[in-house]
Amino acid sequence: MPEAYERHLVPVLFRPFASDMAVRAAALRPRTVLELAAGTGALTSALLTALPTASMVATDLNEAMVSAGSAREPRARWRQADAQALPFEDGAFDLVVCQFGVMFFPDRPSAYAEVRRVLGPRGRFLFSSWGPLASHAFDVAFQAALEESMPGQAPAFLRDVPHGYTDPDVVAADLATAGLTMATAEEVTLKGVAESAASVATGLLTGTPVSAALRAREDAQAIRAAVTRKMTDRLGAGPVTAPMTATVYTAHPA
């Protein structure tokens, strides 16, 4: 999964937003930075470039992602860590960042409470979540292709998880429960550029939990081929450029 994620999804879906978030992080001038759900290090690299003198710790729950990320970006200190039980001292960081990870936390208020605990008194929490599925051209094309190829049986992962935490009022309430105050919530739309729709389809089919839903099926190969074909029909052959919308939040201790 990390290899497919890095090869097919990171350049298209994550790197554009990583560049944007690194600029926001640099404006805060932190000395110590903790990244949650760092994956293979797309944001990590952007942060290290934007903040060359900061101390950087990158974490992920998935050990395979940590191994891949540490090999790809050795300038950071990497740790396997659960966002709901962070292995760091109170007040250890000026900035905690998380790009497209909070949607995956099983108990977001608990994770936010841990963020509050490890932040210094004047620290900041900078994080992002995807907008509704319809606002992400790559993902909406993929989900439509999946549903057409698996009538009544298509995994709802994209709609329920990456695109399932879209209401700023809900986010603000979760933060407040954890002792954090939302300062800003800015909707950002950027363009992703893919070498082909087929490449993105491959990444979503093999680099996300959708792969687990297909693995045990006898018709998995036929479904993958159908999804790739239908996604290409929707987005076009050859290089593809499409809009993607997310919300970028900042919060601070209450």
Neighbouring residues of 200: CB distance < 8 A, sequence distance ≥ 6: 8, 9, 12, 13, 138, 142, 194, 231, 240
Q: Do the beta carbons of residue 225 and residue 146 sit within 8 Å? A: no
Helix, strand, or coil (residue 39): coil
How many domains does the chain fold into? 1
Statement: the pTM of the whole predicted model exceeds 0.85: yes
Provide the pairing of β-strand 55-60 with 77-80.
Answer: parallel
List the chain pLDDT tens, one digit each, 254 residues. 778 889 899 999 999 999 999 999 999 999 999 999 999 999 999 999 999 999 999 999 999 999 999 999 999 999 999 999 999 999 999 999 999 999 999 999 999 999 999 999 999 999 999 999 999 999 999 999 999 999 999 999 999 999 999 999 999 999 999 999 999 999 999 999 999 999 999 999 998 999 999 988 999 999 999 999 999 999 999 999 999 999 999 999 99
Q: In this structure, what CATH number is given to the domain that contains residue 83?
A: 3.40.50.150
With tokens 């057409």, the residue in question is 148
Tell the burial category of 250 from Cβ atoms under 10 Å away from its Cβ (0-12, 13-18, 19+): middle
Instruction: Give the residue numbers spanning the domain of 194.
Output: 2-253
